[in-house]
Each structure stands twice: as C-alpha cells, then as structure tokens.
Structure 1
Amino acid sequence: MGKRGKKHREPQGRRGGDASDDDDILPSSAYDVPPPTNDREHQESESGEEQEEGNDDGGRAWAAAAPSKFHLYQLSVQSPKGDISYMQKFFLMYVGGRFPLHLQEDFCGTALLSCEWLCSDPRRTAIGVDLDLEALNWCLENNLNKVGGDGCSRISLLHGNVLRPQEACVVKHQVEDLVKDLALCDKNGASEAVTTNERDDSEVQGCFTNASMKIDALPNRDIVCAFNYSCCCLQKRKDLVLYFKHAFNALSKKGGIFVMDLYGGASSECKLRLRRRFSNFTYVWEQAEFDIINRRTKISLHFHLGKQRIIRHAFSYDWRLWSLPEIKDCLEEAGFQSIHVWIRKMPDTTDIQNSGEFTVGRDVKYEKVASFQQQDAWNAYIVGVANV
C-alpha cells in the first residue's frame, strides 16, 4: 500500500523516469504485469502478436539488436522499487525499532532487486542466491556496474541451491574491469579472465566460483525475500519447510521478516495465455493445463520482438501452485511467530477488455486481509515475522 490517502502511481524508473515517491510505486511480478505507461502503447495495433511490434524502423532496429532475455525479463516482469517500498513498510510495521539495511534475495536471477536495494541507501548490503550462474554473471556485467563505486563491496552473489545455502559459493569479479571481464574459477581454484563473447554455454554451466566465503559468514539479514513466485519451484512440502527454516535462521536475532509472493484465483487453475505490450516488444505469459491432483502446471514466458525475432520459451517453469493455507502452515512450522497476507485483486482474465492485453488498474493496491473471497485472479504478498 502507498501512503495513507494517496493513490498509487505507475511504476516508472526504467519505464519513464524516476518516481518521486517510492511508497506509491506498485510492484509487479511474472503474472502481475504493469499497466501501460504511455500513449503509444495504448495506440498500438491489437491485430496480432507478431505484427504489433516492428511496424517502425526503431522497432526493427531494436529487435535486430538481439536484446538479452534477461533484459527483457527485467523490463516486463520486475518492479524492484515497488517491492522494496512494500518490504520497508512490512519491516517497520511488524518489527520496527530500526531501519532495514541487510537484504537476502533468494532465487535472485539477475539480482536486479538487490542492486536497487543497494542504490536506495549507501548503508545497505545485499546477498543474492541463485542456481543460474549465467544469470548471476549477467548481473555482474549489466546490473552491478550501475550501483556505484562501492557497490561490489556491499553485495555477495552466491551460486547455489536455496535448500543447501551453506554449500553456495560466491561469484567473484574483477572490479577494475567489471563490465567486460569476469574472474571465473575452475575446480582446482585456478582463475582466468573470460569475456562474455568468448564464453560459450558449456563454459558458463561448467565453471566454478570462489568458495572462500560462505553464506554463514555474512551478516544476519533484516529481510529475506523470494519473489516472482519462486517458491512454486519447490514441489515437496518438506522442501518448502526446509527452505523456510533456512530463511528464518538467516534473519537477525533482533527480529526480521521473510517476504514472498504468490498468485492464484480461478484462472490460475486452467490453461491460460496473457500478453502485455511494451513499446518495442510483447511479453507473453503462457500457462499450461493444471493438474489438480498434484497442483502442478508449466509456465512459459515468451518475448515477441516483431517479425524479425520471437524468443519462445525464454523462461520455462514446472511449478506446484501452493495455496495460502499451505504456505502459512509451512511458515509456522519453520518457526515464524506470525504470518500476514496482503492481497491485490487482479483483472478478470475472462473479461473481453482483457482478451487482447492483460492490464492492472491504476488504483489497485495490496491490502492486509484476514479472509478473502475467491476471484478470477489475485496476487499476494505473504509476510513471515521472526520476532525478537
């Protein structure tokens, strides 16, 4: 929620200039896509995905430049300022007594949120954990260099499994040549500088990072978060509880919070395809049929860059769609003293107005709820509180 009595403004920053008040920025996630931000996007043709972009020279040139799937994901899926605004609000509301400085972003991918966290206050530190070494390296080359001179000293990117964080290894980099080169280490500890253009996929998957620093040696966190529905990757209850225990143990003994997001509603349990236009590309969320016995579905994210290029299955997931009561029970079992749910109603996917493009109303905001009647679509923050 934004400040009392104010309406939310649209996510800005990279979508149209810096926001003047972070508390009024609505976050987005893979399913919770942001609303239009300019007149051009409103006026674009709705006649088909392949021809809607690239109708001008600028669009064709942008498609020809072959933007990274990670860059497209950040543009279409993430709004880190909004997430940070809500996390700050939750921390001050449920813990208080101090300003949150230390963040751990699990399933961090390119760690865009962590980098934005560092930019928001020079005292802040961040830890990012992910299994995808390619995404972590992309962060080093494209996100971390924008934080500032001391950014590298305030963040630790860990390559590893959130279920075994003690085994995660720190991804190292060369500060003096951050954008061009990465310091990669092999199994024997020998390192070499490898440029992005020289490194092929097998090399990315096969390299090892420096194991000299472990997650246990890092400062206890004020906030641990897992966004973009990443907890749905954990398909067994025992794994979900184990992960929540790791998150609980990582929090400061002075008190802290764990924050995750989740989507649901009637539309989440059926085959579904949603798309959202941006000025130079279209983002497509494709949801496969839903297995009601195992609560499993497969999600694919596609990017249409005009007739010149379509990136199909840029990101694919095999998810178990957890229910809110299941999440709450697992958090309690992991040790969290209180759990709070904040929900935001999403547009009806069956509405004719959303058949061509899925958008979010300007004034829709997250609200704390004790009960909530089922809707066609909703998005939620779940906050687990570890008290002093």
Structure 2
Amino acid sequence: MGKHGKKQSLNHRRGKRTSYTVEDDNEDEIHDYPPTSSAREVALSNSDQESQEDEENQEKEKGFDGTNSGIPSKYSLYQQSVQSPKGDISYLQKFFLMYVGGRAPLHLQEDFCGTALLSVEWLHSDARRTAVGLDLDVEALNWCLENNINRIGADVSSRISLFHGNVLQPLESKLVNGNPLEIMQNMTLEDNEGDSMAGTTNSELQGSPKAVHDTKSLKDVQLPARDIVCAFNYSCCCLHNRKDLILYFKHALNALSRKGGIFVMDLYGGTSSEGALRLQRRFSNFTYTWEQAEFDIIQRKTRISLHFNLHKQHRKIRHAFSYSWRLWSLPEVKDCLEEAGFRSVHFWIRNMPDSEQIRRTDGFSAGRDVKYEEATSFQQQDSWNAYIVGVA
C-alpha cells in the first residue's frame, strides 16, 4: 500500500510519495462503484445516515492528521477502504492447519507491510505471537509506529519488529523499532527446537545480548523462524520480471521454519482486469476510487491509482497511491514458487461481482458472503480474487 520508490527495478512498492494532491470537490460525482476487489469476510461499513457526532468520533479514532486542514491521512483511508486483516488472518490460520498442522502458527512475517495493520491484528489474537514487518516505504513505517503500534500497549508492541528495506535484499533491511531481545526472551525452547534462527548465522547466535541489541540489520537480529510469510494487497505485482519474483520467493522460503511453514500471497484477475477501468466504493465519510489504466498485453502491465473523495471536507485526494503492476497469471506464479523450492502450491479462488453490472457499492457489501474455495480448475470470469499458498 502506498509504497514509494525511486525507480521500478528497486521499487517493489506501490506508490509515489509526492504523487497525490488535495483538490476542492468541484467535479461531478462518478456513479460507478467497484466490487470489493480486496475485501475478505468483513462487516458492512457504517451507513451514510450516521450522525455528525458519530462521524467526528470516527475521524478522531481512524487517523485524521490533527492539522487545521482536517484532512485525514491517506494511510488511514487505505486501511479503512482496502484492508480486512481479520479475514486474512482467518484464512492464514486455516491454510497453515491444513497444509502443515501439528502446531499453532505463532510467528508471522508480513512483506510489503506498509502500515503493518495485519501484523498488529495478528499480535492481538494470541499473546504468544510475534510479527515481523518489512517495507521499503519509511513514511508508511513511521505512520505505523505513531498510529498503529504506539496505541496497542507495550506488552503487544514488544512482539513486533519493523524493518525498512527491499524484499529482494531482506537481510540488509534496517530495524526501525523495538528491542529484539524482548522477542527472544519470550521465545520458548520448543519454538527453537529444530530451527536455526531465520536471518542469523551461528556466530551471531553465540553473540552477546549487547551485540545483538546494537545491530540494526535483519541479518544480525535473532528472531524466531516464521510459520507464515505473506505478501498481500497484490504486492507481488510490483515485481516485473520472473527472476525477481523467484528471488523473492526464495527469500520467503528461507525465512520459514524448518518444521514447516507456508507462504501466502493474493492476486486478482478476470476480463475486467485487462483494460481501462474506473470504479468506486462509498463509505460513510469518504468515497474510494480505483482507477486502472490501459493494459499492455505484451508486458502485462498497467498502472493503478487510488483516489479518495472526502465528503465532509469537500476535498479530493488524487493519486493518494499509484502502482505500476505486472499482472501475473496463476500458472506463472505456481511455476516460480516451485522453482524457488516450495514443495506444493494451492489456489483458493472466489468469483467477484461483475464490474459492468454493479452501479453502486456501499462499503464492503458486494460479494461479502462469497467464500474462497480451493480449486485446481476455474473458468474465466469478469473478476476474481485468489490466495496462492506455497507450502515449505
């Protein structure tokens, strides 16, 4: 989400820091509304008839920037309109128990984590759980520290480590929060049995606590091997060539526990994904717009822009996030995962509402009751979403 990069080969993120502008709301409303392309099993948003007092309370709780302008943070708007961490976590747990089993998943790594909303939700679900977040966007990580992590209490925040770096060079990423000693002290012997500490060497395992505390790179920090590594919000589409995709999958595999683990990513597709498209979804305080540029069928690339129309402030945040994506196919991803070393790959797919038929979507209402199902064959549709599970 909102990843900012200098050039695409090093980007592997999804936006430009200076790309968005705030405009007066002097344009005509667009009356097309999108399917819930990134939504999982979540509740309906609040209705448009909520009182002004309720809206003001929600604004305070959901990350308005506190300036005189009253303009909310683009990261807060993204979290509200695109992400549904509880639904993702429910499926992550299901996949782990199905394909690994034998223990509860405790240790998560969220690549392309942005504001690490998923990681924070993961920690709340079990006091034994730890999370590692990795992202190239330091602005998003700083927003996470201030608005997500600083509000969850020391007992929870001590179990998450955020790293600033490139997913293609994860061991070089730099720790931006926390004390990894606290995570190590909370680990049990059972956690470590049969595992090397992912991201460490034997000499580092024998180093003094002070030496570990003073180092800042992931390769020097002792962390539990991960049970699950995930890359959501279509992040792998930021990787434009096969070599980089396989390299990333190898890094994900190396981070997983030797006792077994899974890598999970999401992907979208369908006939509507290969052409220009402009769709909207209305929430109580703002309207979220997904704008998809023309699709290059040779390079399989498109540009996605996310805009927000703020109802109360009568403002538009144009190009809050802009992504240059290669839309990978399911068999391409499967081949790359297997080449990277995963022993099996599984697809879980759900059909999404037809983009040509939906004229209005309020919140996450459209298609919210449609579940993901495992499939080995799936006929092309107007729009679909998939979880791809690689089993180590």
**What interval of TM-score do these two structures reach, taking the shorter chain for normalisation?**
0.7 to 0.9
Shift of 1:309: 1.4
TM-score relative to the length of structure 2: 0.74
Aligned partner of 2:162 among 135, 157, 163: 157
| Offset of residue 130 of structure 1 | 0.1
Tell me the residue number matched to 1:188: none
**In the aligned structure 1, how far is the partner of 2:155 from the partner of 2:52?**
41
1:189 corresponds to:
none
- Structure with the bigger RCO (C-alpha within 8 Å, sep 6+) is 2
Indicate which of 311, 326, 340 corresponds to 2:346: 340
Percent identity between matched residues is 69
Listed as ranges, the gaps of 5+ residues in structure 2 are: 1-34, 180-213
Q: How many residues align?
A: 311
Which amino acid is 1:232 matched to? Answer: C
Question: Which residue of 2 is the match for residue 202 of structure 1?
Answer: none
2:241 corresponds to which residue? 236
Aligned to 1:212: 216
Determine the structure 2 residue equivalent to 1:199: none
Q: Is the 8 A contact 1:118 1:147 kept in 2?
A: no
What SS is found at the alignment partner of 2:150? helix
- Superposition map of 1:268-347 within 5 A: 268-306=273-311, 308-347=314-353
Aligned AA for 1:77?
V
Aligned pairs (5 A) from 1:65-84: 65-84=70-89
| Matched residue type, 2:47 | R
Quickly say closer, same or farther: Cα 1:57–1:82, change in 2 above 3 A.
closer
The question of whether the paired residues in 2 share the 8 Å contact of 1:300 and 1:315 is answered with: yes
**SS across alignment from 1:156:** strand
Match of 1:91 in 2: 96
8 Å contact kept, 1:342–1:366: yes
**Do the aligned partners of 2:160 and 2:178 also contact (CA within 8 Å) in 1?**
no
| Equivalent residues in 2 for 1:2-151, closer than 5 Å | 31-33=37-39, 37=44, 40-41=47-48, 65-151=70-156
Question: Aligned pair in 2 of structure 1 residues 160, 211: CA closer, same or farther (>3 Å)?
Answer: farther
**In structure 2, what is the Cα distance between the partners aligned to 1:60 and 1:314?**
22
**What amino acid is aligned across from residue 237 of structure 2 in structure 1?**
C
Q: CA RMSD in A?
A: 2.5
Q: 2:232: which partner in 1?
A: 227
Deviation at 1:357, TM superposition (A): 3.2
Given residue 79 of structure 1, which amino acid in structure 2 is its aligned partner? S
Question: Whole-Å Cα distance in 1 between the matches of residues 230 and 243 of structure 2?
Answer: 19
Instruction: Give 1:60 deviation, angstroms.
Output: 9.1
Contact preservation (8 Å) 1:266, 1:374: yes
Specify the code of the residue in structure 2 equivalent to 1:74: Q
Looking at structure 2, the residues matched to 38 and 172 of structure 1 have their Cα atoms a distance apart, in angstroms, of 32
Equivalence for 2:385: 379
* C-alpha spacing 1:295/1:211, structure 2 compared with 1 (3 Å): farther
Following the alignment from structure 2 to structure 1, what is the Cα–Cα distance between the partners of residues 45 and 169?
44
In the superposition, the TM-score normalised over structure 1's length comes to: 0.75
- Runs of 5+ consecutive residues of structure 1 not aligned to the other structure: 1-28, 45-54, 175-209
CA drift at 1:215: 4.3
CA contact (8 A) 1:33 1:360 kept: no
